[in-house]
Structure 1
Amino acid sequence: MTLYFTKDHEWISVEGDTATVGITDYAQSQLGDVVFVEVPPAGTSVEKGKEAAVVESVKAASDVYAPVSGEVIEGNAAVEADPSLVNTAPESDGWFFKLKLTNTAELDGLLDDAGYKAFVETL
């Protein structure tokens, strides 16, 4: 399993040609208390850099972008039922969706853990 990050504060955990996507701890801390999450249903095609999910907090509503292109194989029903999972476990149980990768070369432009931490320090 390999973990990548985007400058839009999404994380993606890749195992083979399957990936799990969520938002980072930094992102949830900036949003504040998450009150609503909408994840894409299975079968949805997502495109790298395009809107894939929605997260709303007491402060703001934000789009969650697809870090890579693929087909959604599962949306996290638990996070829709209990949006606070995004705050309490953003990089584990608070994931948004799983997808089947359609272009693994898109992973090349993403940040590793050290790169993401360095990026966040500049904000």
Structure 2
Amino acid sequence: EPPKSKKVQHSNAKNSVLFEAINLIIHHDCEPNLLVRACNQLGQFLQHRETNLRYLALESMCLLASSEFSREAVKKHQETVITALKTERDVSVRQRAVDLLYAMCDKGNVEEIVSEMLNYLETADYSIREEMVS
């Protein structure tokens, strides 16, 4: 069995390639099926134990939220993103969760998202609070 560091390197390389492929799909924004699959794949990373992967997933999903093809697929992860906002230890990941909630907000989910953000505002870090209010 390969040493742990080899496994980690292999996993990092695999995830790097995956995120680059997803970024390429997002950049072209013309393949509805691929955009939805990318969103579903990213959704699995939202609860990953690696902070960096959670951050990257939220960041990429912000881009997917602006595509007409993947907007609905992103909204399916709303509860997971709200949970991340409430429980995430890393402030930069919480910031990306706020960004994604803002990006996925529309007339169908505005009441729930605004309500969650107002609740969060009471305990939010100053750096996030300022941006949320504006």
Quickly name the TM-score band, shorter chain normalised: under 0.3
Higher RCO (C-alpha under 8 Å, 6+ residues apart): 1
TM-score under structure 2 length normalisation: 0.24
Structure with greater proportional strand content: 1
Q: Which of 1 and 2 has greater Rg? A: 2
